[in-house]
Amino acid sequence: MKLFENHGSPSASRLKRTSLSALTLAVLLSAGLSASAAEPLGLKPVPVPQDNPQAPEKIELGKQLYFDKRLSKDDTVSCASCHDPKFGFSNGERFATGVGGAKGGRSAPSVINSAYYKQQFWDGRAASLEEQALGPIANPIEMALPVEDAVAKLNKIGGYKSSFRKVFGTDVTADGIAKAIAAYERTVISGNAPYDKFKAGDESALSEKAQHGMKLFFGKANCSACHGGPNFSDSGYHNIGIGMDAKEPDVGRVAISKLGGDTGAFKTPTLREIARTAPYMHDGSLATLVDVINHYDKGGIANEYLDEELFELRLTSIEKAALLAFLTEGLSSADYPGHKAPELPE
């Protein structure tokens, strides 16, 4: 029998996602709207869709919604329950736990820098953060509150009603909930890590051990073949063998793309703040970063669809320790977005 999936597709219409071109930026600025604040060292500007520009009051509203358990059926679960700033915007457990203790079959990914992915979810089935945001509210194993009911519930809370009026000029709507939460998520960003400072010329930013690990990451260990670019993710899908030895493996991306080669392929996650988000992988099956490094060292888990960028690495124990130092020390930012729950409207 098929398990429920986390975050069923929301019924909201697909919202177009466009990156912020220089032109739209100029238009936004001249219209007096704030584009996203200057990005931290090492990152590109956060892509913002044209029909959902960033604005401080919208971001604050989205933050309240993100932390508000009243968005669930029995007031017990918020977005932050599974994507908790204390656990790197993941939940510290193998699987996520929704209303009534319900569990899905996938681990909660971090929300950090998810604004940079081309698609959302381990299998990429949502095209944007706006499209993603309503899914978990209605999903029976997550917040279990049909979106119409969520809208009606929030419309009875005076503080929300007036915020929506201010930000969107309407009562509470599903579209507005999605847009506000997405705008908040675009501020859950991590950059300016020791790695970025080192790259920008500050040689004291990384220990020698971490520098050694960095060379391995981009060289012998081949990590950058997939975890490349400013966000340490190619936004692509790869089979690295995780879960492929299970009786009925999670087929991942192929369910969406229908391309046989995507069997067992999952989205390459960012590695920024990776020290905070254990356990690892789409099924949370690797408990520590040492386990992760050992997984890659042996060339993944053999299967018909294994990505060709995986092969036995033959790392020495010194090299493994250096790689670990790079991942933990090099990619953890002093500017970690350790947001606290805001005061919620009554």
103: exposed, middle or buried (Cβ count in 10 Å: 0-12, 13-18, 19+): middle
Residues present in the chain in total: 346
How far is C-alpha 163 from the chain's CA centre?
A: 26
| 273 contacts ligand HEC (rule: CB under 6 A) | no
| 67 contacts ligand HEC (rule: CB under 6 A) | no
| Contacts to ligand HEC from residues 221-240, by CB under 6 A | 221-223, 225-227, 238, 240
Nearer to ligand HEC, 64 or 81 (CB): 81
Nearer to ligand HEC, 175 or 307 (CB): 307
- 280 closest CA partner among 86, 20, 92: 92
| 245 contacts ligand HEC (rule: CB under 6 A) | no
Q: Where are the alpha helices (DSSP H) in the chain?
A: 22-30, 56-67, 79-82, 129-133, 135-138, 147-155, 158-168, 174-185, 194-199, 208-218, 254-257, 289-297, 317-325
| Lookup: tokens for 147 | 């979106």
Show the binding pattern over residues 120-139: x = contacts ligand HEC (CB under 6 A), - = does not: xxx------x--xx--xx--
To ligand HEC, the closest distance from the beta carbon of 65 in angstroms equals: 7
Nearer to ligand HEC, 189 or 223 (CB): 223
Distance CA 262, CA 254 (A): 5
| 331 contacts ligand HEC (rule: CB under 6 A) | no
- For every residue of 208-243, DSSP letters joined together read HHHHHHHHHHHTTT-GGGTS-TTTT--S-EE---TT
To ligand HEC, the closest distance from the beta carbon of 133 in angstroms equals: 5
| Contacts to ligand HEC from residues 147-206, by CB under 6 A | 181
**Quick check: 275 and 331 in contact, CB under 8 A?**
yes
Nearer to ligand HEC, 122 or 305 (CB): 122
Show the binding pattern over residues 26-65: x = contacts ligand HEC (CB under 6 A), - = does not: ----------------------------------------
Nearer to ligand HEC, 181 or 254 (CB): 181
| Lookup: tokens for 114 | 């998810």
Size of the site for ligand HEC (CB under 6 A): 54
To ligand HEC, the closest distance from the beta carbon of 215 in angstroms equals: 12
To ligand HEC, the closest distance from the beta carbon of 11 in angstroms equals: 15
> How crowded is residue 121: how many other Cβ atoms within 10 Å of its Cβ?
22
Out of 292, 322, 325, 331, the residue judged to bind ligand HEC by CB under 6 A:
292
**Quick check: 251 and 259 in contact, CB under 8 A?**
no
Applying CB under 6 A, the residues found at the interface with ligand HEC are 5-7, 77, 79, 81-83, 96-98, 104, 106, 108-109, 111, 114, 117, 120-122, 129, 132-133, 136-137, 142-143, 181, 221-223, 225-227, 238, 240, 242, 266, 268-269, 271, 274, 277, 280-282, 289, 292-293, 296, 307, 309-310
